A and B are shown apart, each in its own frame.
Chain A
Amino acid sequence: MKILVGISKAPDTTTKISFTDNNTKFNEDKVQFIVNPYDEWYALVRGLELKEKNGGTVTTITVGGTDHDPIIRKALAIGADDAVRINTEAADGYMVARQIADYAKDNGYDLILLGKETIDYNGSMVGGMTAELLDMPYVSVASKLEIEGRTAILERDVQGGIEVVEADLPLVVSCAKGMAEQRIPNMRGIMAARTKPLNVIEPSDAKGLTRVVEYNLPVEKGEVKIVDAENMDELVSLLHNEAKVI
């Protein structure tokens, strides 16, 4: 089974966000970058588990410049067999999906796994777009994935519940919590990652359809109003009369 896993770069979850160039660029100064958690913890690890069970290969794919190599090496250290980097800066979700689809269409993958969203742009769109461009079925926000022969059995979030669904391979899946447990790379993995193939591929001509024109930070809250722990009637009154939320 050939598995392709989308790996993207994201600022560490503890990052304090700020912007430069008149609020048009994310300030990367002193930011620690990590593998997007959904890509790493769920998509990649589940891909590896399925490979260990059913045989096959796990290839990662990333759209980005050389600054992405450290997080790609991390994915290789966790256990991916090889990596592909499309050598261009990501413009938007559509452009990334086009690049992935343009690469994947001639390479016969059985399963394309991605995180349910990235923790920077939170669009949850690359999976659906990739599936559409490749004319494959797509299961979004899946928390379980098993493969039996050429059939995938999944659980996914729907309004008000969890749905058990089946689909034939090839298939695109966006992965969420529940699908796998985080794996910490061991020393042997880290050593092996140095020599695993990282293939740099030039991009197709796909362009973005949207762009960010301005970033803003939320307005800071005023001073917190402390209410006496004995006097919850006062809190209720404040919530009703002042905040007007109950």
Chain B
Amino acid sequence: MPKTWMSWSAYYTTKPKLFKNLKNLKMSILVFVDARGGQIAKAGLEAIVYGKKIADKMSASVTVLTYGSVSNDTLEGLGRYGASKVLINKSITEDQDDALTSLVAEATQTENASVIIFSFDPAGKVLAPRLSARIGAGLVAGVISVPEIDGNSMTVTKNVFSGKAFAKYEISTEKKVLSLLPNSIQVNEGEGTAEVEEFSPSLPDNRIRVKELKPLGGEGIPLPEAELVVSAGRGLKGPENWGIVEELAESLGAATACSRPVSDMDWRPHHEHVGQTGIAIRPNLYIAAGISGAIQHLAGVNGSKTIVVINTDPEAPFFKAADYGVVGDAFEVLPRLKEAVEKFNAAN
């Protein structure tokens, strides 16, 4: 067998029969990973692990596509999550939707990608629909499971009715586009190094001009990605009382969230509002204090693995959806729980 690229190329041209199906052999799964500020978010790693699970079912390999100023070490390290190859475009430095859409479309072609995967995050909510419409490939947005694949048919599950139900979709087009709901896939780190290549096709000018970025208040974990979440509602009586919520969250390394009335009254910022008309989250642990548990709120959180409800009213509907319940006053229970967590942290 030839060893160098030159001899491969000669082998390829002299043995056309053997490589007649080369196109099919080289099928790939393309995973677009957002890299704002040079960082790959956890949601991006989840998308790569998810892509690898699909690739294994299809005897394909995973190509990651990203942009900006991510370090070479980080890019090679994506091999540990299942990437064989990483394409990076260094000329794009912020989210330039028009350029990025074309970048993904070009990579879809050069990589012969049969499935193109995004995170269901702000970037994926723009790029996945644009790509889907551009190449006429069926999109299922916000998937939560690894697809079943049978020949050219793919079925995959997502949340519908704002988390109150699941729907299994069939995608009938040859190419398929999926966007993955954050926290749906466990990130397992393995071995491997990805091959990194610069990818610089000609791209259109951007029609959206970014003027300013206002970082969200509060440090750290974006709510949709958080594994642990402490949330509170009207039972807290006023924004000045949120200290006990934030302190418990800090002891756990959790993000904070709130119910709709709380964000409507501007006690807390809108981006913390979880529920049917806010954001839907699926953390491992959701602690709700002073939230009665209206059906609209439950819709946004019932994908959580474990739910703890703290309420003075033992009849609060939220207890029916909870794994653990504490009947008591949040003003006493939250500080006590924080102390217990700190004791646990110190011992472990």
Query: Is there an interface contact between B306 and A119, defined as CB atoms closer than 8 Å?
Result: no
Query: Is there an interface contact between B216 and A235, defined as CB atoms closer than 8 Å?
Result: no
Query: Is there an interface contact between A226 and B325, defined as CB atoms closer than 8 Å?
Result: yes
Query: Is there an interface contact between A245 and B34, defined as CB atoms closer than 8 Å?
Result: no
> Is B137 an interface residue when CB atoms closer than 8 A count as contact?
yes
Query: Is there an interface contact between A224 and B214, defined as CB atoms closer than 8 Å?
Result: no
> Is B18 an interface residue when CB atoms closer than 8 A count as contact?
no
Question: Known contacts A211-B170, A213-B155; is A140 also within 8 Å of B285 by CB?
Answer: no
Query: Is there an interface contact between B285 and A246, defined as CB atoms closer than 8 Å?
Result: yes
Interface residues of A in 107-142 (CB under 8 A from B): 119-133, 137-141
Query: Is there an interface contact between A94 and B139, defined as CB atoms closer than 8 Å?
Result: yes
> Is A184 an interface residue when CB atoms closer than 8 A count as contact?
no
Residue-by-residue, is B149-166 near A (CB-CB < 8 Å gives 1, otherwise 0)? Answer: 000000101111110111
Docked complex Cα distance between A122 and B276 (Å): 10
> Is A156 an interface residue when CB atoms closer than 8 A count as contact?
yes
> Is B123 an interface residue when CB atoms closer than 8 A count as contact?
yes
Query: Is there an interface contact between A129 and B277, defined as CB atoms closer than 8 Å?
Result: no
Docked complex Cα distance between A222 and B323 (Å): 7
Question: Known contacts A13-B276, A214-B168, A246-B228; is A235 also within 8 Å of B215 by CB?
Answer: no
Residue-by-residue, is A160-181 near B (CB-CB < 8 Å gives 1, otherwise 0)? Answer: 1111111110000000011000
Question: Known contacts A162-B216, A209-B172; is A215 also within 8 Å of B160 by CB?
Answer: yes
Nearest CB of B to A147, in Å = 15
B208 cross-chain contacts in A, Cβ below 8 A: 137, 139, 165-167
Partner of B324, one of A37, A133, A139, A227: A227
Query: Is there an interface contact between A156 and B122, defined as CB atoms closer than 8 Å?
Result: yes
Nearest CB of B to A130, in Å = 8
Main secondary structure of the interface of B (DSSP, over half): mixed
> Is A62 an interface residue when CB atoms closer than 8 A count as contact?
no
Q: Interface residues, chain A, CB within 8 Å of chain B? A: 11, 13-17, 19, 37-38, 92-94, 97, 119-133, 137-141, 143, 153, 155-168, 177-178, 209-218, 221-222, 224-230, 232-233, 235-240, 243, 245-246
Q: Interface residues, chain B, CB within 8 Å of chain A? A: 34, 36-37, 41, 95, 97-98, 101, 120-123, 125-130, 132-134, 136-142, 155, 157-162, 164-173, 207-216, 222, 227-228, 252, 263, 270-271, 273, 276-278, 280, 284-285, 295-296, 299, 302-303, 305-309, 319-329, 332-333, 336-337, 339-341, 343-344, 348
16 A/B residue pairs, CB under 8 Å, sorted by A: A13-B276, A17-B164, A93-B141, A94-B132, A156-B122, A164-B212, A167-B207, A177-B270, A212-B160, A216-B167, A224-B309, A224-B322, A226-B327, A235-B308, A236-B340, A236-B343
